[in-house]
Chain A
Amino acid sequence: DAGVIQSPRHEVTEMGQEVTLRCKPISGHDYLFWYRQTMMRGLELLIYFNNNVPIDDSGMPEDRFSAKMPNASFSTLKIQPSEPRDSAVYFCASSLSSGVSAYGYTFGSGTRLTVV
């Protein structure tokens, strides 16, 4: 398995533009997570899905952020409109729900977003 795949690796956009980040989880994993990492706030959980259904979006900062998971192999995180304070590294992770998963979460390589 190629692991959790995120795209793009880097994104530079102008303030006010729409940004879409993409994630392909590990096949067979039934949980998917979106995290954001900044120097000031560290790793923050934004939202997670179970079997493609959003379970907890309490970490989503505001209405400008939205996430979808149309099927088991794809998820998007969208920011519209983007602002400079959204600049961060966004990580996607996936996991199996069954008991104490031997390997916990598997993270992707992240998308570094810069909003200018």
Chain B
Amino acid sequence: DAKTTQPPSMDCAEGRAANLPCNHSTISGNEYVYWYRQIHSQGPQYIIHGLKNNETNEMASLIITEDRKSSTLILPHATLRDTAVYYCIVRAMNTGFQKLVFGTGTRLLVSP
């Protein structure tokens, strides 16, 4: 799986949008971008994934650049409960089952 680079930490004010960047400059054409988060003392939780188009669900939006070398996870209105470590992972999906390999992620702190 391609390596990803994320900032180690970010801060965000409650109610504001949180924009978490991820670089994956060596991503291959068959690799998807996945985002998970881990709230303290809990197991990681799936957020969203995408291949090349922007994606949105009830939790977040995923913006992938046209060259697919980077992406941004957007939490439109961050709450205190969004404080967590966010992991960006790239993973191929059409070459047999590929395991998820977690990096160090971005620790997001949402403050009042």
Contact = CB atoms under 8 A, between A and B. Distances in A.
Interface of A: 4, 31, 33, 35, 42-43, 45, 48, 50, 55-56, 91, 93, 97, 99-100, 103-110
A109 B44 CA distance: 9
A45 B100 contact: yes
Interface of B: prevailing SS: loop
B59 to A, nearest CB: 11
Main secondary structure of the interface of A (DSSP, over half): strand
Nearest to A48: B99
B43 A93 contact: yes
B39 to A, nearest CB: 11
A106 B97 contact: no
B99 A56 contact: yes
A104 B100 contact: yes
Going nearest first, the 4 A-B pairs with the smallest beta carbon separation are A107-B43, A43-B102, A104-B46, A100-B93
B43 A110 contact: yes
B99 A107 contact: no
B28 interface: no
A31 B46 contact: no
